[in-house]
Amino acid sequence: MKRRDFLKAGTVGTVGVAAGALATPAIAQDKVHQWKMVTAWPKNLPGPGVAAQMLADRIGVLSGGRIEVKLYAAGELVPGRGVFDAVSEGTAELYHAVPAYWGSKSKGILLFGSQPFGLRADEQFGWLYHGGGQELYDKMYGRFGLKPFLCGNSGPQWQGWFKNEIKSVDDLKGMKFRTTGLASEMCAKIGMSVEAMSGPAMFQALQTGALDAGEFIGPWTDSALGYQQVAKNYYWPGVGEPSSAEECAVNAKVYNELPEDLQQAVAMACESLYNPVWTEYTTKHALALQKLVAEDGVKVRKLPDDVIEAFGKAAEEVIAEMREDDDELVREITESFVSYRDSVGGYMTYADNGQMNARAKVLGY
């Protein structure tokens, strides 16, 4: 007997009771959720655009096809910087972006993505999953009706593309520079004129002279956007963003209405992509940098020590201000971040930093 015939046959007695008890959960399990994912990126942009599609696909697989996610690139449904509000308001079910874009909502949000002289990719994940960060992340985004997850990381970003060589802090004063998040505040404190814009817009601004310099991500993504065509000086280290976490945020009402197994499918899709996304960036950044130098005439330059020191002082001022913020939750997030950074950072002196320094002494890299 087919399942539908069995359910129809159960009209009286205990069979009818059994059928009625089974029908509702069975139908609920079969329901397919059609979700719209809006992103802050051009479709399939190397790095974040690719990662967004990977996440959409993985949610579909891990949910057994019960959640179907259609991806809308920046500008297709809403502007890239409009995805936070779109999901908060229910226009779309989830987005893929970075916390660094949402400082206008709360400065506390910015610490979940990147921090000047802050956490590396592995440390960022450690803070959220083992240092109490996820609870604070949930609490902050809950204000906006969102359930957030980290789902990738670019690893160390670069300080960026400069038309002219930088020899001292004075060379940065008044410079029109594109960056985001807390790095914007750090740069402003040493006299830079900071601009916020998308990656593609940064290329045009460099080309027209509206910008003197700017940073986006790293060699793999940056070369795809063509910055090497309009600026040849590529500076490291990217002290403004020692790592940059990518995030997925789901409309909280939609998420809370899911059965527990589908909630876990969404969470696991995000968590399981963190390392694959991060390590793909690392691998492809390395290959892209070789090509930029060998074929495009890019000059890789290190920031002068006095510039790094000036950035460091400015970054300390930014964090100090956040520790005194009027919003208690911002203060709580900042204290948690500082505590984790100082604890793990102290250990890294002997662990990863020690290993990398030893390798550099023997192998030169």
Other C-beta atoms lying within 10 Å of the C-beta of residue 238: 24
140, two tokens:
């902050």
Place of tokens 């967004």: 52
pLDDT at 186 over 50: yes
Given strand 233-236, what is the order of strands in its sheet? 193-195, 176-178, 213-214, 160-162, 233-236, 299-302
299-309: per-residue pLDDT in tens? 999 999 999 99
CA-based nearest residue to 178, from 246, 108, 241 = 241
pLDDT of residue 307: 98
The answer, yes or no, to whether residue 6 has pLDDT greater than 70, is: no
pLDDT digits (tens, 9 = 90+) for 286-342: 999 999 999 999 999 999 999 999 999 999 999 999 999 999 999 999 999 999 999
CATH topology of domain 160-241+300-363: D-Maltodextrin-Binding Protein; domain 2 (3.40.190)
pLDDT in tens, 116-154: 999 999 999 999 999 999 999 999 999 999 999 999 999
32-156+243-282: what fold?
D-Maltodextrin-Binding Protein; domain 2 (3.40.190)
What are the extents of the domains in the chain?
A: 32-156+243-282, 160-241+300-363
Task: Give burial (CB, 10 Å; 0-12/13-18/19+) of 328.
Answer: exposed
For residues 47 and 38, what is the distance between their CA atoms, to the nearest angstrom? 16
Q: pLDDT (tens digit, 9 = 90+) per residue, 12-40?
A: 333 333 333 333 344 455 789 999 999 99
Please say if the pLDDT value at position 54 is more than 60. Answer: yes
The predicted structure's pLDDT at residue 29: 58
- Note the pLDDT tens digit of each residue in 55-99: 999 999 999 999 999 999 999 999 999 999 999 999 999 999 999
Return mean pLDDT, the chain.
Answer: 92
Task: Give this prediction's pTM.
Answer: 0.90
Residue position matching structure tokens 């899709």: 269
Contacts of 224 (CB under 8 A, 6+ apart): 45, 46, 47
Domains 32-156+243-282 and 160-241+300-363 share a fold: yes
Q: What is the pLDDT of residue 30?
A: 72
